[in-house]
Structure 1
Amino acid sequence: PRPMTRTGGSGGAVLFFAHRGEALRGHAGHPAPGLDPHRGPQAVTIPPGTHPATGGAYTWRVPPWVVPPPPIPPWLAALLAPPAVPSRPVPRMDGERMRGTLMRALHAVCDAPRGMANTTLNARAYALGRWCGAGLLDPATARDTLLHAARLRNIPPAEARATIRSGLGAGLRNPRPGG
């Protein structure tokens, strides 16, 4: 026993289940033809509503004040569960590629034209941050390399830390596609 209506369109049934917070998905015809699972904030018409196309009245077969809705059956929750997200291994740069990427960043900061060291530090922090965001480079390694380059270039430590934090953060929010 559960609350149930007779629809005003096809005369089909609407069954109500208690929701326990399960992640559910579905659409008309899923998980089987003739089913239309509604969940979350989706609306469902109940009596005394009428069907918008046919004008037919919705009626209660079993009203909710007679019996409370039972929990959704585990087999139905399993059919409506979202597909599992496949885990994929986090790719990493091989050692040689990583060293080359870090060395190019270090040299770019050290060799920047006069008055451009901090701008170059920011650009290289952003570029390394994108590698970090893609999971290919460790953020601490990128930060330490850039701090070393800033020290070599005599960028004041507080200024260098702020620039690196800003550049790495922006890069992390915009990861390199596909590495």
Structure 2
Amino acid sequence: MEEIIVENDIVKLRPVQMSDIEAIANAANDERIWEHMSVTLLTQEAVENYIENAIKEREKGISYMFAVIEKKTDNIVGCTSFLDISFPHKRLEIGATWYNPTVWRSAINTNCKFLLFQYCFEVLNLNRIQIKTGHENYRSQKAIERIGAVKEGVLRNHMIRKEGTIRHTIMYSVIVEDWEKLKTRFIEALLK
């Protein structure tokens, strides 16, 4: 996949790179971020491994991780990824998204999702984008529903979390037939 950079006045998304270690470590340094995530990035070594793995997976076409840069500060405030990429089936997942709590409930997530959906539907010409989250991650579920994704169901006993407990996964999607209506909704929300 070619280098992808999408941006507007609020955020810039670009591929993560090794030079992002310090900035990502700073953004990731809050235990609250990792409560529902499959990784924990509270050490320099964890962040280095995270970025190295992301670059390897990007080179293999498995996934594509973006650094999320808040335009007003020019700081990395999180990461988000394309996962489960299947161009033959014209679909992918947007996930492994995390943000520093300073931007929770801000315009960052809405702008990121808008730019990624727009890229997926209007440049990559995909048919489906899926988003999933854990059954106990209510903040994430509300954020996904707020952007207009459709709840498709629950994958029971889908994953074992890092502490060994079972996670049921809530599955959401946006399909190409939803995009024009959703795009209008996004634009109205972003203009507020």
TM-score of the aligned structures, taking structure 1 as reference length:
0.27
Higher relative contact order (CA 8 A, sep 6+): 1
TM-score of the aligned structures, taking structure 2 as reference length:
0.26
Structure with higher Rg: it is 1
